Structure 1
């Protein structure tokens, strides 16, 4: 699971947050090696977004932020910069979308909730975020990653509940908290609701060898053969809103 690898990206001609961010976090966590794409445009893009090390300060994000991308950011649990960096990241995502009533809350809630989940449940002290705006397509793709213990191991270690990765995701969608005390875990549920129902988006969650895909039209959980992610990957697509949104129906 923590094997040092060589990521050969030489033939890569297109990258997206769901691909780039897990690879970047894996490279840094395991000290793996990589070969950059031969395609000059992709090489330059990876450089400007801070691949693979990312940035971790407010000054860096202000200097490196582009008109259509928010660079790879590494958030440290105990860093004084974390809150400011996270707030700036949210602000930059909001700016690339149309200034519509309720949209800032719709962006801030899932990002904040899912980042908080990293530091509350993963048993690691860093998380990763990255976003890309596709103006001609009218949407933003965001990705949030940790290299922690994953959902199934959280249930096992905190509540002695043994479940495979697919079942663990189902439990999370039912509000089963991983906290030992009696409580409900609505962070994933409410975040998914905001993305899919309020922002007409798509929501992907990967943990271990299972993946959830959710949209307004359908929801399915897959088993990922020959793949295992130690931690959690969340990626979601937010379409540019056509009118006001109200996230509070997802928080009741």
Structure 2
């Protein structure tokens, strides 16, 4: 049987397959992740024992394409598919695209730079230490308006905790990128677990579809199990991003919800790994120049400012050891 995909497909997609070789020419849009999921699924159906992923020509690397593809590659590697990633650019190698960094204390302490890298996490300690490192990296990269850092930290903690609590995946992946010119903070968090529909299917909410499950999940108080969560994680993320006039996309299984300003779109034909691993992709952007009123966004709830609390000494004063931040003050912008 000839499994070869016709070369004309190259003109229709930035990701295509020829026999067991998958060519990727773009990592700048969520559609690139969808295209990859589709072609590697069909490659797997053809029973290839190994797959080569050719990255020659990839220049731009955005979290919302890079992280879902990296997560899928790790899933297939765990499923005993031999995958060789070849011809990576410096940006891809630096992002640890083929082998995400495990967020252990040792690895975090050995790193100088935390942004534009794919991180793997699998427990609460990793989440706490990684989020702390990413917040500090944001401080040194871009000047943030009031509430931005706290909003960013809150969203990151909540979504990563959702992966640990609800996905039934053994791990999650996250990447944070700063676009200094536009002052945008871009975040993508991905898992290859059961998906939001799978999580809520046996709950009292009884979603009818993947899109229905996502739409429910961004409402206040919706959770699979109230004993392990209040159901405010994705709702709070939605509220904070909206308060900031940012952008949010939540994709899980075949469903996707996109929100930007007053614009809302849903999609119900998104490719996914398989029926037991529909996965969830949370992709959002925050404008560092726009104030976030986090208390107003969360309907009066005032979360603990973990960053300030970490700087507080026994007498209630905020104790800042300047030498720990010295490497971030080499320019006037960084110092500010």
Q: TM range, normalised to the smaller chain? A: 0.7 to 0.9
Cα distance, 1:90 vs. partner?
Answer: 2.8
| Structure 1 residues 105 and 82: alpha-carbon distance in aligned structure 2, compared to 1, 3 A threshold | closer
Greater shift after overlay, 143-152 or 155-164? 155-164
Contact 1:143–1:233 under 8 Å retained in 2: yes
Q: Can you list the C-alpha shifts for 1:85-123, whole angstroms capped at 9, x where unaligned?
A: 232123223432314322221111110111111111111
Contact 1:197–1:216 under 8 Å retained in 2: no
Partner of 1:44: 90
Q: Can you list the C-alpha shifts for 1:35-71, whole angstroms capped at 9, x where unaligned?
A: 445xxxx61011112112211224434544448x342
Greater shift after overlay, 26-35 or 148-157? 26-35
Greater shift after overlay, 105-114 or 123-132? 123-132
Q: Can you list the C-alpha shifts for 1:148-170, whole angstroms capped at 9, x where unaligned?
A: 10011111244482521111112
Identify which of 191, 196, 203 aligns with 1:151: 196
Q: Can you list the C-alpha shifts for 1:2-61, whole angstroms capped at 9, x where unaligned?
A: 955654433433221011101111111211525445xxxx61011112112211224434
Partner of 2:238: 192
Gaps of 5+ in 1: none
Matched, 1:167 2:212: yes
Q: TM-score, normalization: structure 2? A: 0.65
Partner of 2:8: none
Matched, 1:232 2:280: yes
Partner of 1:217: 262
Partner of 1:77: 123
Partner of 2:107: 60
Q: For 2:95 and 2:228, how far apart are their aligned partners in 1?
A: 41
Q: Which has the larger radius of gyration?
A: 2
Local SS of the residue matching 2:201 = helix
Greater strand content? 1
Partner of 2:314: none
Local SS of the residue matching 2:89 = helix
Q: For 1:241 and 1:144, how far apart are their aligned partners in 2?
A: 23
Cα distance, 1:77 vs. partner?
Answer: 1.9
Local SS of the residue matching 1:71 = coil
Identify which of 133, 138, 159 aligns with 1:93: 138
Contact 2:58–2:89 under 8 Å retained in 1: no
| Structure 1 residues 247 and 15: alpha-carbon distance in aligned structure 2, compared to 1, 3 A threshold | same
Identify which of 148, 154, 178 aligns with 1:109: 154
Greater relative contact order: 1 or 2 (C-alpha under 8 angstroms, separation 6 or more)?
1
Q: For 1:46 and 1:245, how far apart are their aligned partners in 2?
A: 32
Local SS of the residue matching 1:234 = strand
